[in-house]
Chains A and B, each alone.
Chain A
């Protein structure tokens, strides 16, 4: 039972950390969009999360599609898990 609880906790912590990482990435992209005066949109299911630039001049626009969102999640997770497994296997007592 303890092993199951530990495994579920690990999975939840991994999911939470990826969610926090993706949220911080999104905030960072919003800040960059604001600095660079762009129109920025992210596809989230059937909805769009969009940040419009002021309309007094034509501006460039950037759109992140579904595949981009999923690839970003997978990439963050893979980098984290890759680094963790590398350290776990190469760990030596200090």
Chain B
């Protein structure tokens, strides 16, 4: 359990490390204490970062890059969702610049045949877009958590 104290910033450990080690030794341990220590480490790092202007900007830079990556992943899945079942190629372009192309499955493909067969046999209605939609919902949820994280960290005491 004492190993978790190494996750704290060095300045914090210099000041409170010895006291905290004694405190941790006196507790019985367990998942609750480990979680407390982890949240405490996050708060300690937040305080160190917020005190310094450059570190604060660097943290914001990393956060912005992570949000950008997630937005691009969402755009990718949305493009697939829009273009996968289209018989014509779907292009994502701005003027002469073509960014991406999706070529959907053809009407004669096994996928379509399977759908027609399931419909003819009265089987449950197929939802071919379900994996894409599930992925999209998952990504949007991760994005929401990512956007809310700075606010959550600020509210931690």
Contact = CB atoms under 8 A, between A and B. Distances in A.
Contacts, number: 130
Interface residues of B, number: 46
Contact of B63 (A32, A83, A88): A83
B60 A83 contact: yes
Interface stretch (B16-24, B28-36, B37-45, B106-114): B106-114
A65 B97 CA distance: 9
Interface in A37-69: 38, 56-65, 67-68
The dominant DSSP class at the A interface is helix
B105 A67 contact: no
Interface of B: 47, 50-51, 53-54, 56-69, 71-73, 76-77, 79-80, 83-84, 92-93, 97-106, 109-111, 131-132, 135
Given A22-B69, A79-B67, 9 more contacts: A14-B61, A28-B73, A57-B111, A64-B100, A67-B93, A83-B60, A83-B61, A87-B56, A88-B53
25 contacts: A17-B61, A18-B65, A21-B69, A29-B76, A32-B80, A35-B135, A58-B106, A60-B105, A61-B102, A62-B76, A64-B99, A65-B99, A71-B99, A75-B68, A75-B71, A76-B65, A79-B64, A80-B61, A84-B57, A84-B58, A86-B60, A87-B60, A88-B57, A88-B60, A94-B47
